[in-house]
Amino acid sequence: MHNALCFMTIGLLGAVAGLAQANDPAEWSVAIANEYRLVPDITYLVADGYESKLDLILPRSEEPRPTLLYFHGGGWVAGSKEVSLLRLLPYVEMGWAVVNVEYRMASVALAPAAVEDCRCALRWVRSNAEEYGFDVDKIVVSGHSAGGHLSLTTGTLPAAAGLDRRCPERGPGASTQDEEMSVAAIVNWYGITDVGDLLAGVNAKTYAVAWMGGLTDRLEIAERVSPLTYIRAGLPPVLTIHGNADPIVPYDHAIRLHEALEEAGVVNQLHTVEGGGHGGFSTEELLEAHDVIRAFLARHVTGE
């Protein structure tokens, strides 16, 4: 879907990466376009009659690369992977492989479908690591808003949660549904951490209600898909970026996540954007946030 948009955007990615890294942006734009390739619209799961797809932005070198697995936002009811492509630029600039994921939204399937899909995307990355050059020891999951929630669930759910059962088998050597899947780190941009908190009361949000639809056991499902349910020792490092004036996902969700991770002894960091809303950060605020991300990943993932 939107292949033309994908190809135009990858060209822009290369051009802007050139501006970031060299005095001659024309030289770097050509170099990036030559050194990266795009593989669009790979189907990683078919469920409810819907093909969930992902795009790959890959270095052409054969050596395994640190890999970003990214989930777009939109409250589980809207958005697309194509719209988020420019947010992947900092990882392209760092030389990473990037996997940009779409998933079933509420119009196709209610909760927990989006969580199932994103877990299956992680399984697909691990199962296809050799073919595409993903370093399975350096997979980082990230996303904005609902995508932040999905990065947290993808990176913290145990196999016992039972949300991997729709993932397809992929032949000898492929991951199995009862295998624990680890990631190296989670970068959570203002993600939802307590879904039930958004279904009623002062924090009720229409997008969360729509994701649950008419489910009679919606509170049970909400707990099952809430990252706070799965906080425990041994989780990967978690970085959260959140504005403390966010009207869409309460800043309290970030505070509660940080406190729970601290209590469990999990390495984590909360970067607060003072006065920041639900994204829409200034260039300066985003530059600071990405400096924090680079330092966090260098310390906990790449060892640079």
Q: Which pLDDT score is estimated for 23?
A: 53
Q: Which pLDDT score is estimated for 26?
A: 74
How many CA atoms lie within 13 Å of 227's alpha carbon, on the beta-carbon side?
Answer: 28
Of 114, 95, 117, 90, which is closest to residue 289 (Cα–Cα)?
Answer: 90
State pTM to two decimals.
0.90
Q: Which pLDDT score is estimated for 20?
A: 45
Q: Which pLDDT score is estimated for 62?
A: 80
What is the fold of 42-302?
Answer: Rossmann fold (3.40.50)
For residue 258, how many other CB atoms are within 10 A of its CB?
A: 19
pLDDT along the chain (304 residues), means of 10: 44 42 64 88 96 96 94 98 93 94 97 98 96 97 98 96 86 58 97 98 97 97 98 98 98 98 98 98 98 98 90
Beta-carbon contacts of 5 under 8 Å, excluding residues fewer than 6 positions away, are 82, 85
The predicted-structure confidence for 96-114, as pLDDT tens digits, reads as follows 999 999 999 999 999 999 9
The CA-to-CA distance between both ends of the chain, in Å, stands at 37
Contact 78, 105 (CB under 8 A): yes
Q: What are phi and psi of 53, to 5 degrees?
A: -125, 165
Q: Which pLDDT score is estimated for 8?
A: 38
Please give the structure tokens belonging to residue 33: 């376009």
The predicted-structure confidence for 55-112, as pLDDT tens digits, reads as follows 999 999 889 999 999 999 999 999 999 999 999 989 998 999 999 999 999 999 999 9
The CA distance from 214 to 50, in Å, is 20
Q: Which pLDDT score is estimated for 28?
A: 64
